[in-house]
Amino acid sequence: MRTICFYFQVHQPFRLRRYRFFDIGLQHNYYDEAANQGIMRKVADKCYLPTNEILLELIEHYGDRFKVAFSISGVCLDQFERYAPDVLNSFQRLAQSGGVEFLAETYPHSLAALCEGDEFERSVKRQHARIQELFGQDPQTFRNTELIYSDLIGARVAALGYTQMLTEGAKQVLGWKSPNYLYHNPIEPKLKLLLKNYQLSDDIAFRFSNRGWNGWPLTAEKFAQWLSALPPRDEMVNLFMDYETFGEHQWAETGIFDFLRALPNAIFTHTDFGFQTPAGVVASHQSVGALHVPYPISWADEERDLSAWLGNDLQNEAFRNLNELAPLVQKTNDADLQRDYLYLQTSDHFYYMCTKWFSDGDVHKYFNPYETPYAAFVNYMNVLSDFQLRLRAATPTGES
């Protein structure tokens, strides 16, 4: 039997309030509490709660035949506890169902894997511990922020003990190869790689409600037919997408929830595919070979590179200033400073500074609180300046 791996990313950043130059040194509350709470409740009611209920119903109905996987950032878990404990409870019910695998990632949904030092390892271990605490699982699968991956990043992930990792099935690294097979890291062959089939994933995540798309309307039966038409040798299809696809990016009125409810039956009726979690995929399939990824790739935009986060001078200046503070943060025992440093690492802050407005422009506008990339940069750097003053005041004299 061939395999479908359904994986969902769950993440919301702590958005910053409008922080002026004149606030530096005087105001240390950086977060827009009203916006963060309002957006979390909005997405909870439109997406998280109804979709979790559907998945729980499907798992109870189909038993071991239906499985999914989640990666939930630590900053999102913090917001669940603060603003939406009912959502956290619903994810815990899913964990108890036996049909869900929870993945490890960086706690703040950060770009730390691109940096030297051990901040990446520290934040991964922190999120791993939270998954164990809240869901009773010991993650074996890793999903890096924005599916960012390279050979060297994979080696770091393997050194942390993970045996499989998700990433993008980017054309520039696959070439003639198909994403519908299992691969492995060339430096650490024990780390297996599951590649996103972005064509079929984006049919659901981005094109589902597009009436100008030649695949509209997309029904569960039509999607099953597309799967059945894949080459018989294709062993798996990895459908990776933001969880907000259901109810938020694609509103309930589009029929997205009906599609999700009907999909397992259509798959079982019309194809030779079954559902598995990433760990299940690796347990039941062999790698067909090493996948060489010398430079980092991601899911984003047509380029599938890092330019959505580190593609201009604003982003790189902010990122450099942030990372220079890591040694000082590790020297302080101040819990507030450590928390703020985590939240300031979230990749969304750099995404808001993106100056790319091409075919993927609407993606960059999602819940973006700023009018311009420059406004995002100025606001972030004001916050970072205040954070640096607090950090240096808390650091023992003579250390820098």
| Cβ atoms < 10 Å from Cβ of 174 | 17
Handedness of CA 283, 105, 243, 295 (dihedral sign): negative
Active site residue 146: yes
Spatial separation of the C-alpha atoms in residues 177 and 236, rounded to whole Å:
13
Q: Quick one: how far is CA 167 from the chain centroid?
A: 10
H or E element in which residue 159 lies:
helix 151-159
* Spatial contact of 16 and 44, defined as CB atoms under 8 Å apart: no
341 closest CA partner among 327, 353, 326: 326
Tokens 């200033």 belong to residue = 321
**Sign of the C-alpha dihedral, residues 300, 305, 309, 314?**
negative
List the one residue out of 336, 372, 304 whose CA is nearest residue 148: 304
State both tokens at 272: 């030779």
| Angle formed at CA 44 by CA 43 and CA 48, multiple of 5 degrees | 100
Q: At what angle do helices 220-228 and 256-270 cross, to 10 degrees?
A: 40
Burial class (CB in 10 A: 0-12, 13-18, 19+), 62: middle
Pick the catalytic residue from 101, 105, 119, 146.
Answer: 146
Report phi then psi at 324, rounded to 5. -65, -20
Residue positions annotated with a catalytic role: 146
